[in-house]
Amino acid sequence: MDAKSIAFVTNPKSHRVARKGSWVSQAAAAAPDLNILEFSGDTALMPQLRKVMEDGVSTIFIEGGDGTVLAVLSACHALADQFETPPQFAILPGGSTNLAHKLFGFRAFGPRHFQKRFAGLLAGKREQVTQQRALKIDSPGLSTPQLGFVLSTGTLARAMRYVQEELHGPGHRGSFSVGQAILRFLSAPHAYLDQNGQPVVAGSQIALQGDNLAYDGPHGLSIMTSLPRLSLGLYPFWGEGSGSISLTYATWPMPHFRRGLFQALVWKQPDRLEKLGFFSHREDAVKLTPHAPIMIDGESFDFSAQDPVHVTLSDQIRFLR
C-alpha cells in the first residue's frame, strides 16, 4: 500500500488522544508524506476529505472516538457520488468507549504494535478486511445524512448527555464509566436532573413506523442499532424477523423502569417485558418523529417536531482489521 493512498483523520480533543497522545505522529515518522487531517468538531472536514480523495486516497485511518467515526463516515458518504470507489477505513482507539474500534477497528495493542502493523501495510502486507453496515439517518433537519451505529431517544439520550456533562471527567471514561452510570440510574432513576433542572428519566412524544411497527404516543426511551452488540457486550434487543435494524422502545409512563431496563439488558423475556411496556422489533427501515433531542453515537442532534427522521441501512463499509 502506497503512503500516498492513505490519509489520517485525527481528533486531538478526543479523550484518549488528549490524555495519552496521538499514534499519528509515529505513523508520520515512518511515512513523512502521509496525509494528516486534524478534526475536532470546529474545523470543516468535508473539504479536507474531498481534497485527499481527489489526490487518490483510498484508505482513511480514523483516530478519535465514536463521534469522530460518525463525522468521517458521514462526510465520505456525502462525497460518494463524486468518486468511483468508496474508501476503506481503519479505526484507532482515540475516544472513551471506542465501541466501533472494539467491534471492527484496526487491531493494535499499543503505539509500538500499531507502528509495526502500519509499516507492514506500507511494505505491501495484506490485511484482513471486514464489512459492516451503518444506520443511515436522514431528515430535513440535517444538511447531509448521518452514518452512525447507535441512535437513542428519550431517557437514554438525556442520560447519555447527563453522563457526558456531569459524570465524565479526567480518568472517568470508558466502558467502566458506562457500567457505573447504568448502575447509578438503576439504583436511583429519578434522582438525576439535567442542567435545566428537568428529570433525566422523563417521557416525551414520539412516532415510530416500520413494516411491523406502529406507535405514536408518549415514550420513555428508544434505541436502535445495526451492530451485533453494544458497550459492555450488552444487547437489549429481542425482536424477531429478518430486518437488520434492531430497535427497542418503552412506552411512558414507566412505573417499573428499573425492572424493565434490567430485564431488557439481561433476561429478554418478551411476554414479561411487554407487560412492563418494553417492546422490541427488527426492521429494515424506521421512520421516527422525535419531540426531543436524539443521540447518534454520543453526539446530540435536535430536530423540530415537524421533521421526520428516516433510518435505513447504508451499503456495506469496508474496515481494515
**pTM to 2 decimals?**
0.91
Read off the pLDDT band of 304 (50, 70, 90): confident
For 150-201, where are the E strands, in sequence order?
150-153
* Closest listed residue to residue 17, CA positions, set 74, 96, 70, 90: 96
Confirm whether 3-132 and 150-296 share one CATH topology.
Answer: no
Q: Give the HSE-up count for residue 146: Cα atoms under 13 Å, Cβ half-sphere.
A: 27
pLDDT of 170 reads 45
pLDDT digits (tens, 9 = 90+) for 70-101: 999 999 999 998 888 899 999 999 887 789 99
Q: Return the C-alpha cell found at 217.
A: 404516543
**Which bin fits 203, alpha (ψ -120 to 50), beta or left (φ > 0)?**
beta
pLDDT of 168 reads 55
pLDDT of 246 reads 98
pLDDT at 231 over 90: no
Amino acid identity, position 99: L
Cβ-based neighbours of 58, under 8 Å, separated by 6 or more: 5, 85, 87, 88
Helix (H, G, I), strand (E, B) or coil at 30: helix
Q: Domain segments of the chain: what residues?
A: 3-132, 150-296
pLDDT at 195 over 90: no
pLDDT at 179 over 80: no
pLDDT at 272 over 90: yes
pLDDT of 171 reads 43
Cβ-based neighbours of 35, under 8 Å, separated by 6 or more: 4, 6, 7, 8, 52, 55, 57
**What average pLDDT does the chain have?**
88
Lowest mean pLDDT among 28-32, 101-105, 140-144: 28-32
pLDDT at 14 over 80: yes
Q: Which fold has domain 3-132?
A: Rossmann fold (3.40.50)
Whether CATH 2.60.200.40 fits 150-296 = yes
Helix (H, G, I), strand (E, B) or coil at 38: strand
pLDDT digits (tens, 9 = 90+) for 129-173: 999 999 999 999 899 999 999 999 999 998 888 877 776 554 444
* Contact call for residues 11 and 40 (beta carbons, < 8 A): yes
Cis? peptide before 253, omega within 30° of 0: yes
What does the radius of gyration of the chain's CA atoms come to, in whole angstroms? Answer: 20
